[in-house]
Amino acid sequence: MREYQVALIRGDGIGPEIVDSAVTVLEAAAKKYGFSFRFTAYPAGGEAIDKTGEPLPQETVDGCLASDSVLLGAVGGPKWDTLPGHLRPERALLGLRSALGLYTNLRPAKLYPALSGACPLRPDIVAKGFDLLMVRELTGGIYFGDRGRREGKNGPEAWDTECYSVMEVERIARAAFDAARKRRRSVISIDKANVLETSRLWRETVHRVAAEYPDVQVEDMLVDNAAMQLVRNPSRFDVVVTSNMFGDILSDEASQITGSIGLLPSASLGGTKRGLYEPIHGSAPDIAGQNKANPLATILSAAMMLRYAFDEDEAAACIEAAVDRALQDGCRTADIAAPGAANVLSCTAMTEAVLARL
Ligand code: IPM
Ligand code: MN
């Protein structure tokens, strides 16, 4: 029987609840499709700071490297917010992305017709629907550039640097064009080439790679315009490719127009099949431990894991269809329920609803 080793990073806040939900769904899908998992839990983020004094212990990095894939809940919370930058829980995420070489971040955002009421956009825009895939560069740019503090001419100042090599842009561009070939064959590359030199290199490089994909349409868009187009006409986007920081910002915007950040999965991939799968939302400390969290983004992240890490496409599609049906049947956690709605599901009840539809 096919057996997959998966490292689990439950993390902080609602992390443990949503990862446990996804594991239940993965186990059920495995049983149905004839494979199995070996799960091993590793600490990271606040949990790891409390246990070991550091957000990303070496044991966790080694464990992830020794696994076929990593499923992560969320890290961070107010308890650790006042620690210095290099000890913050978020360092765990950045450190894992870098240690595992996960330079491609895939963040799909689509409007579920059953949830169109939760979409904050105008009805005529909602009626057109949207289904886009954000391809965010994840191990370069300003997130990983030199930074520091110094004495400037007006007193103390701080600086961060954005740097992209041709190699880094080429590989993320290829990831985007390859993804577009499995979708509607359109790529919009987002930059700030009217101001930034890194963006001009980005643009040139994307166009050179585009020449290898004559069957895929490519268009450039400035990031400020993209922020506007995402709420004006999201249906025009298929695959979006952009830098680490622009991708961070635009993917939150893309998630919000789906109606809830509680629904969006993500996959972080590199040059190997080993990836990291996590919901794009955070640890929601305000509702942690209350069985109120929406587990769907993590369940959908687990489905992405089946597809990208293990080529278990049928099992992945089955989970996605079960989520679709649960939503169509009116199953709602608090974050996606209509205001004042009766029958709001808990995290475990939503998980049961998905299991029942597998
Ligand atoms: C995300 C998060 C992270 C990021 C933070 C927590 C470091 O916002 O995954 O989008 O900025 O990449
Ligand atoms: Mn973010």
Catalytic positions are 143, 192, 224, 248, 252
Characterize the bridge pairing of strands 131-137 and 147-152: unpaired
Residue 259: what pLDDT?
86
Which residue's C-alpha comes closest to atom 5 of ligand 1? 90
Q: Give 186-198 pLDDT, tens digit per residue.
A: 999 999 999 999 9
CB of residue 248 inside a 6 A radius of ligand 1: yes
Whether residues 10 and 95 share a domain: the answer is yes
Residue 85 confidence (pLDDT) above 90 = no
Q: Give 1-37 pLDDT, tens digit per residue.
A: 899 999 999 999 999 999 999 999 999 999 999 999 9
Bigger pLDDT: 342 or 159?
Answer: 159
* Helix-strand-coil split of the chain, %, nearest 5: 45, 20, 30
Residue 318 confidence (pLDDT) above 90 = yes
What is the atom index within ligand 1 of the atom nearest the CA of 76? 6
Average pLDDT over residues 259-277: 92
Report the mean per-residue pLDDT for the chain: 96
Whether residues 252 and 170 share a domain: the answer is yes
Query: Is 0.85 surpassed by the pTM of this model?
Result: yes
What is the atom index within ligand 1 of the atom nearest the CA of 94? 7
Residue 260: what pLDDT?
82
Ligand nearest to the CA of 102: 1
- Cα 225 to averaged position of ligand 1 atoms, centre (Å): 22
CB of residue 264 inside a 6 A radius of ligand 1: no
Residue 203: what pLDDT?
98
Residue 342: what pLDDT?
86
Of 90, 143, 160, 244, the residue with max ligand 1 atoms within 8 A of its CB, to mutate for a pocket test, comes to 90
Does residue 114 lie within any of the structural domains? no
Residue 340 confidence (pLDDT) above 90 = no
Residue 118: what pLDDT?
86
- Cα 94 to averaged position of ligand 2 atoms, centre (Å): 11
Whether residues 98 and 38 share a domain: the answer is yes
Residue 133: what pLDDT?
98
Whether residues 134 and 235 share a domain: the answer is yes
Does residue 113 lie within any of the structural domains? no
Residue 98: what pLDDT?
96
Domain containing residue 220: CATH number: 3.40.718.10
Residue 241: what pLDDT?
98
Of 94, 104, 252, the residue with max ligand 1 atoms within 8 A of its CB, to mutate for a pocket test, comes to 94
Nearest to 256 by CA among 119, 148, 57, 101: 119
Average pLDDT over residues 273-286: 95
Which residues sit with Cβ closer than 5 angstroms to ligand 2, an ion?
248
- Cα 345 to averaged position of ligand 1 atoms, centre (Å): 28
Whether residues 251 and 336 share a domain: the answer is no
Q: Are 191 and 204 in contact (CB under 8 A)?
A: no
Residue 122: strand, helix, or coil: coil
Whether residues 143 and 236 share a domain: the answer is yes
What is the atom index within ligand 1 of the atom nearest the CA of 252? 10
CA distance 264 to 298: 8
Domain count for the chain:
2
CB of residue 93 inside a 6 A radius of ligand 1: yes
Average pLDDT over residues 225-243: 98
Whether residues 283 and 205 share a domain: the answer is no
Whether residues 47 and 173 share a domain: the answer is no
Residue 261: what pLDDT?
82
Residue 86: what pLDDT?
86
Residue 248: what pLDDT?
95
Residue 44 confidence (pLDDT) above 90 = yes
Does residue 109 lie within any of the structural domains? no
Q: Of 256, 283, 316, which closes a domain? A: 256
Residue 338 confidence (pLDDT) above 90 = no
Q: Looking up tokens 């985007």, which residue turns up? A: 176
Which residues are bridge partners to 135 per DSSP?
Answer: 106, 241
CA distance 50 to 172: 36
How large a percentage of the chain has pLDDT more than 90?
A: 92
Q: Of 217, 234, 256, which closes a domain? A: 256
Whether residues 244 and 127 share a domain: the answer is yes
Does residue 110 lie within any of the structural domains? no
Does residue 173 lie within any of the structural domains? yes
What is the atom index within ligand 1 of the atom nearest the CA of 93? 7
Whether residues 207 and 86 share a domain: the answer is no
CA distance 110 to 84: 37
Adjacency order of strands within the sheet including 265-269 = 35-41, 2-11, 69-74, 276-279, 265-269, 104-110, 131-137, 239-242, 186-191, 217-222
What range defines the domain where residue 210 resides?
120-256
Q: Give 86-140 pLDDT, tens digit per residue.
A: 899 999 999 999 999 999 999 999 999 888 888 999 999 999 999 999 999 999 9
Q: Which long-range contacts (CB under 8 A, 24 or more apart) does 302-307 make?
A: 302/22, 302/23, 302/25, 302/26, 302/71, 302/277, 303/265, 304/106, 304/265, 304/266, 304/267, 304/277, 305/6, 305/69, 305/71, 305/267, 305/275, 305/277, 306/26, 306/29
Whether residues 223 and 322 share a domain: the answer is no
Q: Name the H helices within the chain.
A: 15-33, 46-52, 58-65, 90-99, 123-128, 166-181, 197-210, 223-232, 244-256, 296-308, 313-328, 347-356
Does residue 112 lie within any of the structural domains? no
Whether residues 125 and 208 share a domain: the answer is yes
Does residue 111 lie within any of the structural domains? no
Residue 262 confidence (pLDDT) above 90 = no
Q: Of 256, 288, 306, which closes a domain? A: 256
- Residue 235, CA distances (Å) to 88, 224, 230, 322 in order: 37, 18, 8, 25
Residue 293: what pLDDT?
97
Structure tokens at 321: 């269809």
Residue 1: what pLDDT?
86
Which residue's C-alpha comes closest to atom 2 of ligand 1? 248
Does residue 287 lie within any of the structural domains? yes
